[in-house]
């Protein structure tokens, strides 16, 4: 095998960072050039490149005529988490799993998957709505209002549920002299093998629903969170995600 010759230490490089080239083409600052690149507005030989550190030499550099820095706001992603997946895991957050019916119309960029914080924990065995955000305002809202923000959850339990059991859950349970968070429970559907209960509760935390059901003798088969505050999962397919829309507020 013939080794490539090692260039002398003082040899001049003929390539440069894409951000530097874009800054020269647009007569803008290096930081603005990086933002144009991260915004998906720059093509190198016809291919979109989103890495400002990408090195170029004599390739053709094109800037989209619609290029703008106005849509580089931090994003929040809503995931329909499959059961068995860690609530903080981000492996399913990828362009391939972006919901085809996302009403937001946002362009999916690599920067959307960086600096994400998982909010409002959910049991690993449960499925349903999980929130990932880059926006500190959304994160603070979900953290500070956790005790008063209502969540809606469907809990499937084994067998039928007696009216007296529903009444006990709705009246509230007390453990060691301390009242558990109040819940509103209704029968969503029932069958011989299982029933589904719709829980609306505030101050929820992982393990609470399992504990409540255990206290009244119900065996849980599955948990699915449908809503956090005013934001619902709606028709989002399992394993897929969408953008939080501008008008949506938790």
Burial 173-185 (b: 16+ CB within 10 A, else e): beeeeeeeeebeb
Kindly state the percentage of the chain with pLDDT values over 90. 50
CATH number at residue 212: 3.30.70.1560
Which residue among 63, 86, 101 closes a domain? Answer: 63
Q: Considering the domain boundaries, does residue 248 fall inside one?
A: no
Residue 139 φ then ψ, to 5°: -60, -45
pLDDT in tens, 89-122: 788 899 999 999 898 778 899 889 988 999 998 8
What's the whole-number mean pLDDT along residues 144-164? 94
Count of Cβ atoms closer than 10 Å to residue 147 Cβ? 10
Question: Is the same domain home to 159 and 188?
Answer: yes
**Residue 24 counted as domain residue:** yes
Does 164 share its domain with 220?
Answer: yes
The shares of helix, strand and coil residues in the chain, as percent rounded to the nearest 5, are 20, 30, 50
Both 39 and 155 in one domain: the answer is no
Torsion of CA 94, 96, 99, 104, to 10 degrees: 60
Query: Would residue 6 count as lying in a domain?
Result: no
Whether residue 136 is found in the same domain as residue 191: no
State whether 154 and 224 are in the same domain.
Answer: yes
Which of 68-72, 95-99, 128-132 is predicted with the least confidence, judged by mean pLDDT? 68-72
46 domain-assigned? yes
Query: By residue range, what is the domain housing residue 24?
Result: 16-63
Q: Let me know whether 94 and 160 are in one domain.
A: no
Same domain, 53 and 86: no
Report the CATH number at residue 111. Answer: 3.30.70.580
| Same domain, yes or no: 139 and 179 | no
Which of 134, 128, 116, 90 has the alpha carbon at shortest distance from 204? Answer: 128
Inside any domain, residue 192: yes
pLDDT tens for 4-56 read: 455 555 656 778 889 898 888 888 899 989 888 888 889 998 888 888 889 98
Cα 120 to Cα 53: distance, rounded to the nearest angstrom = 35
**Total number of domains in the chain:** 3
What are the b/e assignments for 114-142, b being 16+ CB within 10 Å?
A: eebbbbbebbeebbbbbbbbbeeebbebb
pTM > 0.85: no
Co-location of 199 and 173 in the same domain: yes
Does residue 126 share a domain with residue 27?
Answer: no
| 189 and 132 fall within a common domain | no
């Amino acid at each position: 095998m013939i080794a490539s010759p090692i260039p002398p230490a003082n040899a001049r490089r003929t390539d440069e960072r894409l951000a530097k080239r874009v800054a020269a083409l647009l007569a803008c600052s290096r930081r603005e050039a990086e933002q144009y690149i991260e915004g998906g507005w720059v093509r190198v030989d016809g291919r979109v490149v989103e890495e400002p550190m990408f090195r170029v030499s004599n390739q053709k550099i094109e800037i989209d005529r619609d290029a703008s820095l106005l849509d580089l706001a931090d994003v929040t992603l809503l995931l329909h988490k499959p059961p068995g997946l860690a609530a903080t895991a981000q492996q399913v957050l990828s362009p391939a799993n972006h919901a085809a019916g996302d009403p937001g119309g946002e362009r999916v960029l690599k920067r959307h998957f960086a600096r994400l914080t998982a909010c409002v924990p959910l049991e690993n065995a449960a499925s349903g709505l999980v929130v990932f955000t880059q926006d500190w305002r959304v994160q603070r809202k979900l953290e500070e209002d956790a005790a008063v923000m209502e969540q809606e959850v469907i809990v499937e339990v084994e067998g039928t549920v007696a009216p007296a059991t529903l009444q006990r859950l709705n009246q509230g349970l007390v453990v060691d002299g301390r009242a558990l968070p109040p819940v509103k429970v209704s029968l969503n559907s029932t069958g011989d093998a299982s029933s589904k209960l719709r829980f609306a509760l505030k101050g929820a935390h992982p393990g609470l629903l399992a504990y409540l059901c255990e206290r009244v003798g119900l065996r849980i088969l599955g948990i699915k969170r449908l809503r956090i505050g005013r934001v619902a999962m709606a028709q989002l397919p399992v394993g897929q995600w969408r953008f939080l829309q501008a008008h949506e507020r938790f």
